[in-house]
Amino acid sequence: MNKFAIEGQQMAYQDIGQGPVVVFGHSYLWDAQMWAPQVEALSQSYRCIVPELWAHGESDFAPNATRSLKDYAKQVLALLDHLEIEEFAIVGLSVGGMWGCELVTLAPQRVKGIALMDTFVGLEPEVAHKKYFAMLDTISAARAVPEPIVDAVVPLFFANDAEQDNPALVSEFRNKLSNLVGEQAAEVARIGRMVFGRRDQIEDLDNFALPTLIAVGQEDIPRPVLESFLMNDCISGSEMVQIPKAGHISNLEQPEFVTSMLEDFLSKVFTR
């Protein structure tokens, strides 16, 4: 894992492969390893850059001045400047898509294409916003993720039959949440407030003039298919794919399907 210093804090990132650059954004509560199946395949043809969110993976806690996903997008752009990368595509899942869209707005001439997976860049719906913020407040106060919250959160990330179809994936995630304690738990909750308190980017999508793939697990609970249809309507020329038998972490539940989908999309992006 490589490190890049920003405002005194170390951002961890993977840099694997050679060729046109693809920047991957992982989900909240996950890390760069989430993209392992896709990076293994795509790094044969592309240079894959996978930054880790602050307080996730091997990244330090967020710098004090970091207040929003737009701030984080600027920091990823600083990383790409540091690596002397001018043009790139983005593959962002969940919060990765949210800050990915912020990056498109910040540097539209540099982003060649974007794949938005299991994400929504409008405001968090009010009922979900209240529920998530209550959970985050509890985690901050407890400096841990209490078992009832673990039990509530884990099923949100997977397809309906994940416990039977992919038990190792589900139990590994459950253990990770249960082991989140102390200042780390409080800092992860701080990032959660940036995610679920994000600004509304729906109007920005009208200005997108780049190849855009919108993909969503058919059984995604936190980011239902309807939200992807809404974004698809906003971006002229975008294509939409529904991923069968997948929930929120669709790339790990259906790795072959997603890798093939991304290979197809990126080949179009970089042969334009």
Task: Label residue 97 left, alpha or beta by phi (over 0 means left) and psi (-120 to 50 means alpha).
Answer: alpha
Specify whether the CB–CB gap between 247 and 222 falls below 8 A.
no
The CATH number given to 2-123+198-269 is: 3.40.50.1820
pTM above 0.95, yes or no: yes
| Span 38-92, pLDDT tens digits | 999 999 999 999 999 999 999 999 999 999 999 999 999 999 999 999 999 999 9
Distance CA 137, CA 119 (A): 23
Helix, strand and coil content of the chain, in percent to the nearest 5, comes to: 45, 20, 35
* Mode of pairing for the β-strands spanning 111-117 and 88-93: parallel
Q: Write down the domain spans for the chain.
A: 2-123+198-269
State which amino acid sits at residue 145: V
| Span 95-145, pLDDT tens digits | 999 999 999 999 999 999 999 999 999 999 999 999 999 999 999 999 999
Distance CA 104, CA 154 (A): 31
- How close are the terminal C-alpha atoms of the chain, in Å? 32
